[in-house]
Chains A and B, each alone.
Chain A
Amino acid sequence: MSLVRFENVGLRYGLGPEVLRDLSFRIEPHSFQFLTGPSGAGKTSLLRLLFLSLRPTRGLITLFDQDVATLGRDALAALRRRTGIVFQDFRLLDHMTTFENVALPLRVVGRREASYRQEVTELLHWVGLGDRIWSQPPVLSGGEKQRAAIARAVIARPELLLADEPTGNVDPNLAQRLLRLFIELHKSGTAVVIATHDVGLMDQFDARRLVLHEGRMHIYE
């Protein structure tokens, strides 16, 4: 079973030109890959297709062996819960504490705080935010926000983790620490896709590269 399967997927916005053309690739369980390419190559569009925030203009996308075009909204929400997403701009909720932000994916499925308090606290310690549990995002540094966003993405133990430029706003030292965090998650069994144009970051870990160029994909195993 592939986690993700794209067959001849094309995407255009409105009546504009195709920004993604004939994409065919698979993402296997427990795999690690970088998604890269120059700015404007379509990385963010492809990520939005992957986390079901966009529908393709043509082609077939299956996620966890289910054709996403045939699924209802609740079923798509269930697939999103099996996917963790880290946004470049973090998208933490400012009125909640770090703990509450990280626990949000568990809370929205109806779990009570007592049932997840320990695992959220342990995860926050694991990503190095043990002393920031009760802080709110506005007082966190960029690196702390990024780690909180990563913790929120993985708290529900997703099978697939998508990260959009996770090291885009941090210094090289922190970028390296964050990469190690993703590698640890990969080792624990999560398939990881990191969208980045940071060649230095990719050179630090030998992994499959999905390279987008002018809307087409070239895969380097």
Chain B
Amino acid sequence: MAIASRRMAIHGSDPALAGRLNGRESPIVPQSSIAGRALIAVVAIMTFLAALTTGAVMLVLASASEWQSEVAREMTIQVRPAPGRDIEADVRKAADIARAAPGVAEVRPYSREESARLIEPWLGATLALDDLPVPRLIVVRVGGAQPPDLAALRAALGAVGATLDDHRGWIARMRAMAATAVAIGIGVLALVLAATILSVTFATRGAMAADLPIIEVLHVIGAEDRYIANEFQRHFLVLGLKGGVIGGGGALVLFALAALLGDPATASAGGVEIAALFGSLSIGPVGYALITAQIALNAAVTAATSRGVVNRTLASVT
């Protein structure tokens, strides 16, 4: 105790000495250095950006598929007015035919007033609907275990002068748009991941520049290559994990908050509008798993790069 006190008096707050007095050996690779902290910052920032990109792509994927299925779940029956026919009766008949068809969950004919409101923005409120041959619409929601027989339904509706629009044209457009969004998202994600891996690789090499003399000393005193590589790999794995957890963890918290904001139970008015456009704002378990995988990937890249630098350095000194 007296010796320890004397050592403390001589060396003050010397961290290596503090480690010694606690019975710990100094690590082979210095724990804290400016280069190490800069590496953690680079890994954190790049992981954060990659995680944001991943989350954004997951949201776009979910929204594209949501929009597509929303459109696909609905069909529209159009009943055109014809001279000598009672359009109200035709609408009722068409609605009954649709209700009777298998695979139809809900049929909702637009009333005369609703139809008028639909064209009100273009033609004004004062126009009498009877003066114009305005078709009437019936919204059909598809549901149930089996899909409706569209050909049979179309033929049955044709008998009462109604046509069926199954939104095929819109679905094709939605599908094309969704495919484009997915392709762009995956492309951006691939670029960001490549940039992340390159940045982390070069930052690790930069951080190791000051450590090269340590590799040489360990080599000449007879340490085996495997021992040296393991020491550095372990050290840089920890640095990579620290950076990854800071950056990726930040992104995970951000997405968790966004999901909470977009939740109808807790959302503000703005949140509801955003949710209307982007769906639930939740990246889902797959998104969270991908971000976690990116944290592990960046830490692994950091560790593997350090091992590569050690092996190259050792190859150059013999």
Contact = CB atoms under 8 A, between A and B. Distances in A.
Interface string B214-228: 101111111111110
Interface of A: 51-55, 73-74, 76-78, 80-81, 83, 85, 91, 93, 95-97, 99-100, 104-105, 107-109, 113, 134-136, 152, 156
Contact of B11 (A83, A107, A135): A135
- Most chain A CB atoms below 10 A, which of B16, B26, B220, B318: B220
B35 interface: no
17 contacts: A51-B220, A54-B318, A73-B318, A77-B224, A80-B219, A83-B222, A93-B214, A95-B26, A95-B30, A105-B221, A107-B25, A108-B218, A108-B222, A108-B224, A109-B223, A134-B16, A134-B20
A54 B219 CA distance: 13
Q: Which 3 A-B pairs have the closest CB atoms?
A: A81-B222, A108-B223, A80-B222
B318 A76 contact: yes
Q: What secondary structure prevails in chain B residues at the interface with A?
A: helix
Contacts of B227: 108
Contact of B221 (A54, A55, A95, A104): A104
Contacts of B7: 134
B222 A100 contact: no
Contacts of B14: 134, 136
A97 B19 CA distance: 10
A91 B225 contact: no
Nearest to A91: B217
A104 B317 CA distance: 19
B186 interface: no
B17 interface: yes
- Range of interface residues on chain B? 20 to 34
Contacts of A152: 221
A85 B218 CA distance: 12
Contacts of A76: 318
B213 interface: yes
A53 B17 CA distance: 33
Contacts of B220: 51, 53, 80, 85, 91
Interface in B1-57: 7, 10-11, 14, 16-17, 20, 25-26, 28, 30
A100 B216 contact: no
A82 B218 CA distance: 14
Nearest to A79: B222
Contacts of A73: 224-225, 314, 318
- Most chain A CB atoms below 10 A, which of B7, B16, B222: B222
- Most chain A CB atoms below 10 A, which of B213, B224, B225: B224
Contacts of A85: 220-221
